[in-house]
Structure 1
Amino acid sequence: MGMWRGLRVAFLLGSLFMILLIIVYWDDVGGFNLYPLQDPKHESLSSDFATELSLSPSPTRAQITFTTTTTGTITSSTNLIPEKPRGSAEEEVREDKQEHMREETRVEEKSQRSQPYLDDREQDVRKQRIMDVCSGDDGVEFPGRTRAFEQVPNRELDHLIVDDKHQIIYCYVPKVACTNWKRVMVVLSQSLISPSTGKPYTDPEAVPPDLVHNSSLHLTFAKFWRNYGSLSRHLMALKLQHYTKFLFVRDPFVRLISAFRNKFGRPNEDFYKQFGSVMLRRYGNVSGSLPETAAEAFAAGIKPTFEQFIAYLLDPETERKKIFNEHWRQVYRLCHPCQVKYDFIGRLETLETDAEHLLKLMRVDHLVRFPSGSRNLTATSWERDWFAQIPLTTRRELYKLYEPDFKLFGYPKPDSVLH
């Protein structure tokens, strides 16, 4: 009995001694860790994830984050960016060419973005000039300069065409590409049906030019009173405030030459009866009766001259009765630039670039293109020849009649004609 008791005591003491050894050397043993020993600077990787990572492209620039939970589960978030493989010499040359092309494209786009800024700057100059003349800073006086828009009679608003669908107002000026701009307005407003398709025209060049001058096709401010009654002026004010408003202008003397060539340089029955016959009787020293028709008159060599046309414009009787057809009426009387704050002032002399910029401004360049028809051949260089037979005093009187248009739209004084 004493022996067995001694053995049990020895066994217990041995067990206690082993337990004390385990406790003392626990940190060196590493505990009962199921994972391989790792560098203490890094976290543990699960064997599955480590295998997956080893099969993926070399993560030379990877950012890897791991979190070990108390249950032994590992969660990970990776943003692996594989290193670009080194290509052959031909591939490198091809990539250099592609990069060069991309750089050229960026330069071109930058140039295109800067171009509208230059156009906008020119528009600011044109608009500021109108404001200066209308405020009296230029010392030019003309009828209606200081009146408010509400004081403009309805009958004088018949050149302001309204497109409600695209929120556009266009004041058309005859002999300043107005036929093509009216075509554009017809396409945008879808106011004319093509007989061949049974649908509204989509191409301005396909719209017959003789039809676009039919006043029934266009909604103008002059028609508002009939359509909206007492609300018409209020609606006009709202549209003028929110719509894009534009017009195109031209050198005033060149416009006069163009109007004369178009209406009196060839037989035109309406203009012959209404204006040509009056010019011939007043200033032509025509004895006897005039031919009944323009065709007969032209066949007999009887037709108004440019000098007679100018005399008619300067006749106090003509001015007193305001018998100014729209083709030679001053632009300030057609479009009222002192009352309507236009967003865009285009010029016939820069028609193509102005038209392109305007369509983009109105956000309709994807719907319509300005017709690229033939340009009117009348040029500023013709003025000296056309005015050669006009007395100097008459030329100066004519300039005073159209001086507001010269000043408002920035056309230089025609010194070669006036001196």
Structure 2
Amino acid sequence: MNSDISWRFPYMNFHAHATTLERERLVRCLQREKEHKSRRLYFLEIMSTSKNVIVVGIIVILILINLEFVLRRLLDISSDPVYNPKARFGNEEQDGSISTIGTLYDNVLNVSTNAPVDLMTSSNVSFMNEQDAIQKARRRQVSHTCRKNNLGGTFTDLLKSSNHRLIVDEKYKLIYCSVPKIASTSWKRVLLVLRGVMNDTYDLSQSEINNKVAPRKLKYLRFYPAADVRRMLREFTKFLVVRDPFSRILSAFRNKLDPLSDFRNCDIWQKGIGMHILKKYKPWSLIAPSRPVFKRLVTPKGVVRYDLNMADFVKFLVDPLEKNDNEHWSEIHRLCSPCLVEYDIISKFTTLDADAEYILRLIHADSVVKFPSSIGSSPTNSSNTASIKSYFRDVPRGDLDKLYSRFQLDFELFGYENPDMGLS
């Protein structure tokens, strides 16, 4: 020990000059240094081993994360309520919760809408609360009907469907299912203003919107890549507009096929589908002078009598041998897949204006565009009870029952009463 100290401290004559106290202090310093060196070596050994364990642990975690992602992709996210309506329906019916719309009104109050929160009036809050409750009840009706009929499906099923008519607005994160004869032209006007194509909802005619501008300027969900479709269905506000099925059928008839129609292009429909119906179900009416003549059509074979009525049209709609699924009278559930797509808002034709105001407020577009009136469209006054009874009274009971059977799911999904109540 003394020789070690002398080597470490050569300038000191340890034996000659150092006191006992100094020798003890120097000895303790040397001992502590040896102990520190031993501890450092031990710590380095531990760190080397721990580092290997940590690296292996990180690798295992990354593998598990990627494995979960791959499995979710392979299973097509079957547990996701957006793409597995059966699971979503069960949750909503049990606890009455709202999966998407439930937080939308909170966003209206908490997200900047170009107006401070304290400027939200009590009437606005009351309106939004009332509409939120209405929508909750409508969604529950759809959920119940889909569950009762064991309907639903996966995201893949939706991608395979070619019937849906979902229009997308990316800026306002909105998805709209366009159904003819239920204010579809009015909503296209709104969407074209939101996209900046039109400055005002009345800038273009109905024909220009439906046949020229909308097909070119509006974006449809079915043309997006699957990954974008999945994201939009999760994040965007989705809505459709529904109508009493018999009222919608009557509107289509009066607009397109009724001999008394004032629709500008009705002759095209009447010479095509209308004449086909007459030839098949009552060919004698084309020449029999005893029948009333509402209209004469000029056809390649000459002038013919055209006196199609609602009973003829219904017979065509319920004929299983006919291709009678034209979008103007095809079932809403076929066009919009409400048991596949989780719609946040279900607007009804009878509450169109209030529903539209609610939707535009939710997406913060109420200061940009107002929902237009029916001016410039083709209103037929087909929701009037008296009109429905008048047009359907000559339909044979058997055909009326078949018509209800065809549209029964729409009646149930959207909470419409059995037509017996309106036609008896």
Cα-to-partner distance string for 1:252-302 (whole Å, 9 max, x where unaligned): 10010000000012362432344112201111224889xxx9842697431
- C-alpha distance in 2 between matches for 1:334 and 1:189: 24
CA shift at 1:376, angstroms?
4.3
Matched-pair contact (CA < 8 Å) for 2:389–2:423:
no
State the TM-score, normalized to the length of structure 1.
0.63
Aligned residues: 287
Shift of 1:411: 0.9
Partner amino acid, structure 1, of 2:223: K
Number of the residue aligned with 2:192: 186
1:246 aligns with 2:247: no
2:193/2:200 contact within 8 Å kept: yes
Q: 1:254 to 1:326 in 2, by over 3 A?
A: same
CA contact (8 A) 1:157 1:220 kept: no
SS in 2 for 1:346: strand
Tell me which of 388, 396, 405 is aligned to 1:400.
Answer: 405
Kindly indicate whether the alpha-carbon contact (under 8 Å) linking 2:275 and 2:306 is maintained by their aligned counterparts in 1.
Answer: no
Q: Which amino acid aligns with 1:220?
A: Y
Going from structure 1 to structure 2, the CA distance change for 1:188 and 1:259 (only over 3 Å counts) comes to same
Tell whether the 8 Å contact from 2:248 to 2:329 is kept in structure 1 after alignment: yes
> Which residue of 94, 97, 111 maps to 2:123?
111
- Counterpart-to-counterpart distance in 2, 1:288 and 1:129: 46
CA distance in 2, matches of 1:365, 1:219: 21
The superposition leaves residues 7-32 of structure 1 with CA deviations (integer Å, 9 ceiling, x where unpaired) of xxxxxxxxxxxxxxxxxxxxxxxxxx
Give the whole-Å Cα distance in 2 for the aligned partners of 1:126 and 1:416: 21
Question: Equivalent residue for 1:315?
Answer: 319
What is the distance in 2 between the residues matched to 1:277 and 1:155?
31
1:150 matches 2:137 = no
Quick one: higher RCO (CA 8 Å, sep 6+), 1 or 2?
A: 2
Higher helix share: 2
Alignment of 1:322-361 (within 5 A): 323-361=324-362
What is the SS of the residue equivalent to 2:167?
strand
CA contact (8 A) 1:154 1:222 kept: no
Corresponding position of 2:279: 281
After superposition, residues 61-76 of structure 1 pair within 5 angstroms as none
* Percentage of identical aligned residues: 33
Q: Secondary structure in 1 aligned to 2:306? A: coil
Where does structure 2 lack aligned partners over 5 or more consecutive residues? Answer: 1-117, 288-294
Q: How far off its partner does 1:153 sit?
A: 5.7
TM normalised by structure 2 equals: 0.62
Residues 371 and 384 of structure 1: CA distance in aligned 2, closer, same or farther (over 3 Å): same
DSSP 3-state at the match of 1:204: coil
Deviations 1:1-54 (A, max 9, x none): xxxxxxxxxxxxxxxxxxxxxxxxxxxxxxxxxxxxxxxxxxxxxxxxxxxxxx
Q: RMSD over aligned Cα, in angstroms?
A: 2.8
Q: In 2, are the aligned partners of 1:162 and 1:218 still within 8 Å (CA)?
A: yes
* Unaligned ranges ≥5, structure 1: 1-105, 191-199, 225-231
Deviation at 1:223, TM superposition (A): 2.5
Distance 1:241 1:264 in 2: 40
> What's the CA shift for 1:418?
6.2
Name the counterpart of 2:257: 264
Q: Which has the larger radius of gyration?
A: 1
User: Cα distance 1:285–1:344, how it changes in 2: closer, same or farther (>3 A)?
Assistant: same
